[in-house]
Amino acid sequence: MYAVNRQNGYWQGMYQWESKQALEEYKKSFVYKIMNKRAKIGSLSSKEFSDQALVSYIEKIKIS
């Protein structure tokens, strides 16, 4: 899932992986490395949640 702030052009990606191994493989990928090179220093962060679907997390934190 991606979200874009139309006021400043910043965007956010949220991903759900099938396994911890799939996540670790993505972190070693060409795409991940390029994304990190192009981002502003300090603008990337990540959080890992176990045993929780992405849609459940979004429902908990959404702003009404």
2 within domain boundaries: no
Do residues 1 and 58 touch, judged by C-beta distance below 8 A?
yes
pTM (predicted TM-score): 0.64
Query: Is the per-residue pLDDT at 60 higher than 90?
Result: no
30 within domain boundaries: yes
pLDDT reported for residue 21 = 93
Residue 34 CA to residue 2 CA, distance in Å, equals 18
Structure token pair of residue 60: 């908990």
Query: Residue 54's CB: how many other CB atoms inside 10 A?
Result: 13
| Average pLDDT of every residue of the chain | 86
Query: Is the per-residue pLDDT at 64 higher than 70?
Result: no
Residue 18 CA to residue 33 CA, distance in Å, equals 21
Structural domain that includes position 26:
17-61
> Which residues lie across from 12 on neighbouring strands?
3
Percent residues over pLDDT 90 in the chain: 20
40 DSSP assignment: P
Domain count of the fold of the chain: 1
36 within domain boundaries: yes
37 within domain boundaries: yes
